[in-house]
Structure 1
Amino acid sequence: MSTELLDVANLEKIVSAAVAAPSIHNTQPWRFRLATETMTLQIRAAADRGLRHIDPCGRALHLSVGCALFNVRLAVAHFGWEPVTRLLPRPDEPGLLATVRLGGTARFSPTPGLYDAVWRRHSSRFPFSARTLPTTLLHELAEAVHAEGAQLGYPDPEETDRLLRLTLEAERRTTADRDRAVESRRWVREPDAAALGIPPLAVGPQDYRDRLPVRDFEAHRHPATLTAQAFEQQPTIAVLSTPHDRRADWLRAGQALQHALLVATAAGVRASLLHQALEWPDLREQLAKPENGPVQAQMVIRLGYGPEGPASPRRTAAQALEEG
């Protein structure tokens, strides 16, 4: 397909796919611009939507942009072009996180079902069933992550309990930290005109049992609108990690995360992100076991079969796209 065939409708569809990606607290911290002379889509950080207290170094922002970048690559290939990707292409422009040039005809077709899954994927913070995930699917998820330069590990039940306790400890700290709690609460709200933040009902129900702290966004609950429900006794948890911990690694981790989430969605599996312990450096260090080598934990993912739950709103392509 010739790049001359990129019309406004296709461009908006590609950007809409990017905007459908998950982001920390649904801040959608990205901006897009098409450089028409080179047919290159630029992805920039929206610094005004960064989280100064929760994410001071911007790691979660880079992961969020990495998720959007994977969707761009997928959409570009879906429409028949080869996505030529560069991470951090201009050292003198730190806000330019990635570019995707629309190359010649795509050399291969995207995995069937992944593009359709872009529009159906969203986090489900509701209880999952006790149904076990197929081993073949767990392998597929690990392969998807590996294809993006990261790795996915599945802790045993004892290790899972340890990771969940770290999550609970992180929630307690955030609740006690006024700046972080206020910043978190600001993004759990009824969506405004820009469609940012997480609606209270999308946060999910609360689990009052002490054993299983799968209680996302504990620091900013809306108890008047949420009911207590028991979560699964033996959750399936995956830890996504990278060998290094540089900005490019964060972007690769985001692409790996989104690749895995779309594979899970295509298979009818729900997911939610347990990011709390990653927001505290000392707790983050404890997420990766020393015997696994010098790896850097980037995300903890809860997987299972269960209700879809409400989706958080997204900005439109027009709102996210800047003029070139």
Structure 2
Amino acid sequence: MHNAQPWRFRYSRGNGTFRLYADFGRVIPHADPDARALHLGCGAALFNLRVAAADAGCHPQVALLPDPQDSTLLATVRLTAPTGGDVALALLYPAVHERHTSRYPFAPTEIRPNLRAALIEAARREGAMLDFPSAWHLRWIEELAEEAGARDLTDRDRDADLARWTRIGAAEADTATDGVPDYAFGPRKRGGRAPVRDFSGGRPTAGFGSTAFEDEPHLALLSTDGDGPRDWLCAGQAMERVLLLATLEGLATSFSTEALEWPDLRWPLRDPSSGAGYVQMMLRLGYGPKGPRTPRRPVREVLVTED
């Protein structure tokens, strides 16, 4: 969320094990008070580690929340020789460097049914459910996202969150190591029903116009059976697996989290006909610009190696 990068890794050479810690100093206090989104982000980083390990010829043995006394320790990953595990992981590795969030309009081109099925299966393999809502449910989701966006514009706490994690102007954007730089905001929405956050928060930004977005956006809801830290970590891994596969298949992707940030709007996002699961993320997928690369923290800030 907001490219906060709220993770820290420690690697022990002696036993070939990574430990993933949450950096709660990077939580977004008003939009993510229970650190749900923080856990999703860390889960995505964990999945990327698994992919990189598989690409390097190792098998990652993962244990989630291994120490009940330490809420900051989210996972351990022990690297062993390949044992016939998930061979599809290594195939996703090129997409780790190619995937960027795209906040631009997408073409009206349909996503073919077999690709949708593959994305649904990718989420299932990580213990989550991916649904592509249609008809009236899609309209309802769009209305909830619109309501959340309207609330954000007049909420001082959400505005403070945004100001903390956006980088406006060349002096900030060109030297940032985290947050969302203004060159990645994308254009302001002028028409269309695609849910798109205005990262400017109403603040003036030079050189950014407005344009029409999709009238029929391709939205997908990622859900889990439960709604605790373990479920959030599983959802983050499922989200990243879906995003990497989508990238390899030529799709551009982005997130819509505004409605998820308001408890009274998050609950009714679920399909009311089934009432199944807790929605953890809303994805927007389609064919269009891939989006620019956003900054990353230096490795020395997020990885410590010990004997």
Q: Given residue 254 of structure 1, which amino acid in structure 2 is its aligned partner?
A: G
Matched, 1:126 2:108: no
Aligned to 1:142: 120
Q: Given residue 143 of structure 1, which amino acid in structure 2 is its aligned partner?
A: E
Aligned to 1:46: 23
Residue segments in structure 2 that go unaligned for 5+ positions in a row: none
User: Secondary structure at 2:210's aligned position in 1?
Assistant: coil
Question: What is the TM-score with the length of structure 1 in the denominator?
Answer: 0.88
Q: Does 108-117 or 258-267 show the bigger shift?
A: 108-117
Matched, 1:305 2:283: no
Task: From the superposition, tell whether residues 111 and 213 of structure 1 become closer, same or farther in structure 2 (CA, over 3 Å).
Answer: closer
Aligned to 1:64: 41
Q: Does 95-104 or 255-264 show the bigger shift?
A: 95-104
Matched, 1:195 2:177: yes
User: Secondary structure at 2:75's aligned position in 1?
Assistant: strand
Q: Post-superposition shift, 1:265?
A: 0.1
Question: What is the TM-score with the length of structure 2 in the denominator?
Answer: 0.93
Q: Post-superposition shift, 1:234?
A: 0.8
Q: Post-superposition shift, 1:228?
A: 0.8
Aligned to 1:215: 196
Structure 1 CA distance for aligned equivalents of residues 174 and 157 of structure 2: 22
Q: Paired residues, what number?
A: 300
2:7 aligned to which of 30, 40, 44: 30
Asked whether the 8 Å contact 1:40–1:99 carries over to 2, the reply is: yes
User: Secondary structure at 1:299's aligned position in 2?
Assistant: strand
Task: From the superposition, tell whether residues 213 and 238 of structure 1 become closer, same or farther in structure 2 (CA, over 3 Å).
Answer: closer
Matched, 1:117 2:101: no
Asked whether the 8 Å contact 1:188–1:220 carries over to 2, the reply is: no
- After superposition, the C-alpha distances for 1:146-201 in whole angstroms (9 at most, x for unaligned) are 00000011111332221111111111112211111111122111347560101112
Structure 2 CA distance for aligned equivalents of residues 240 and 275 of structure 1: 12
Identity across the alignment (%): 42
Structure 2 CA distance for aligned equivalents of residues 112 and 133 of structure 1: 24
Aligned to 2:133: 155
Q: Given residue 127 of structure 1, which amino acid in structure 2 is its aligned partner?
A: P
Aligned to 1:206: 188
- After superposition, the C-alpha distances for 1:211-234 in whole angstroms (9 at most, x for unaligned) are 525222356254433211111111
Structure 1 CA distance for aligned equivalents of residues 300 and 83 of structure 2: 26
Task: From the superposition, tell whether residues 95 and 243 of structure 1 become closer, same or farther in structure 2 (CA, over 3 Å).
Answer: same
Structure 2 CA distance for aligned equivalents of residues 191 and 77 of structure 1: 34
1:166-185 correspondence runs (5 A): 166-185=144-163
Q: Does 35-44 or 78-87 show the bigger shift?
A: 35-44
Task: From the superposition, tell whether residues 207 and 193 of structure 1 become closer, same or farther in structure 2 (CA, over 3 Å).
Answer: closer
Aligned to 1:86: 63
User: Secondary structure at 1:303's aligned position in 2?
Assistant: strand
Q: Given residue 82 of structure 1, which amino acid in structure 2 is its aligned partner?
A: H
Residue segments in structure 1 that go unaligned for 5+ positions in a row: 1-23
Asked whether the 8 Å contact 1:83–1:103 carries over to 2, the reply is: yes
- After superposition, the C-alpha distances for 1:234-267 in whole angstroms (9 at most, x for unaligned) are 1111000001101100000000000000000000
Structure 2 CA distance for aligned equivalents of residues 219 and 280 of structure 1: 20
Structure 2 CA distance for aligned equivalents of residues 192 and 57 of structure 1: 31
Q: Post-superposition shift, 1:81?
A: 1.1
Asked whether the 8 Å contact 1:38–1:101 carries over to 2, the reply is: yes
Asked whether the 8 Å contact 1:171–1:219 carries over to 2, the reply is: no
Task: From the superposition, tell whether residues 42 and 192 of structure 1 become closer, same or farther in structure 2 (CA, over 3 Å).
Answer: farther
Matched, 1:280 2:262: yes
Q: Does 31-40 or 252-261 show the bigger shift?
A: 31-40
Q: Post-superposition shift, 1:113?
A: 3.7
Asked whether the 8 Å contact 1:243–1:296 carries over to 2, the reply is: yes
Q: Post-superposition shift, 1:100?
A: 0.5
Q: Given residue 48 of structure 1, which amino acid in structure 2 is its aligned partner?
A: G
Q: Post-superposition shift, 1:102?
A: 0.5
- After superposition, the C-alpha distances for 1:260-311 in whole angstroms (9 at most, x for unaligned) are 0000000010011001100000100011023223410000100000012212
Structure 2 CA distance for aligned equivalents of residues 174 and 219 of structure 1: 12
Structure 2 CA distance for aligned equivalents of residues 274 and 185 of structure 1: 18
Structure 2 CA distance for aligned equivalents of residues 312 and 64 of structure 1: 15
Structure 2 CA distance for aligned equivalents of residues 294 and 142 of structure 1: 15
User: Secondary structure at 1:44's aligned position in 2?
Assistant: strand
2:72 aligned to which of 95, 104, 107: 95
User: Secondary structure at 1:53's aligned position in 2?
Assistant: coil
